Amino acid sequence: MATIRTYRQRGNNRIEAILLNLMFYPLMALWIAVGVLASPFCFAIWKVLTGWDTGRIARHLINIHGYGLVVMVSPFVHFQGEGFAGIKRPCIMVVNHLSFFDSYFISTLPFHDIIFAVGAWPFKMYWYTLFMRLARYLDVETGDWGDIMKTCTDTFAKGGTVLFFPEGHRSRDGKLHPFYSGAFHLAQVTGVPIVPLCITGTDIMLPPGHFSLCPATVRLVALDPVDPSEFPGKTGVAALRSEVQKRMAVKLEEIRGVINEE
């Protein structure tokens, strides 16, 4: 775990933090501009080469965009991914939420066909809204639940994935906060398993309410899937939610314990 120790030390290095910000933000602006300008051509080319529907193409392009941002910070932000090979689809993924950058690290998963279920505010980011709509991302805060269910069942029928941030907001103290029931109700209705994801380090890299990035080590760990059929009856949704939250809390404590020991 020497790598973790090295990057924790770097997080206190103001010179590296300054270099990271001076490098990242101009590159991010350029990457967004190029992506927006090139997107019509990319949609056409992807359609010819793959035959995918518009939603899947949009999700692939968003994934490329996110992965590009991860690459940009990689000289100063070390990334470790674990358990990805064990993810079977279709599935419902749930991940704890520490930073605006969390969603970009989802692009490191070995597949791209992921529909994000998020609150209403990301749809207000004018430079992303069109792409989010094209990708069929879900507004679980103000959207119609019937429409959300239909989108999800269509996605699962094609072997796709829906991802939730079950806390509903970024944690400002690094702790795991109570979960909303949407992802777990969806799992009970559809029978699709839950795959918990645990992310750490993004709160050091870019805490909520901050714009300045810091060097850090980010870990994204996929846990074993949880079968909703093991939680039957009227209390099944609550029991499933509680079990997933417990497993994630234990894993997060384990990760942070290792880091603290270093």
pLDDT tens by residue, the chain, 262 residues: 334 444 444 445 789 999 999 999 999 999 999 999 999 999 999 999 999 999 999 999 999 999 999 999 999 999 999 999 989 999 999 999 999 999 999 999 999 999 999 887 777 776 678 889 999 999 988 888 899 999 999 999 999 999 999 999 999 998 999 999 999 999 999 999 999 999 999 999 999 989 999 999 999 999 999 999 999 998 999 999 999 999 999 999 999 876 555 5
- What confidence score (pLDDT) does residue 260 get? 52
Q: Is the peptide bond before 26 cis (omega within 30 degrees of 0)?
A: no
- What confidence score (pLDDT) does residue 258 get? 60
- Distance, in Å, from the CA atom of 50 to the CA atom of 103, rounded to the nearest integer, reads 25
CB 131 within 8 A of CB 60: no
Domain CATH for 239: 3.40.1130
- What confidence score (pLDDT) does residue 4 get? 40
- What confidence score (pLDDT) does residue 143 get? 85
Beta pairing class for 216-222 and 194-200 = antiparallel
- What confidence score (pLDDT) does residue 9 get? 44
Domain assignment of residue 6, given as a range: 2-261
- Distance, in Å, from the CA atom of 115 to the CA atom of 256, rounded to the nearest integer, reads 29
**How many domains does one find in the chain?**
1
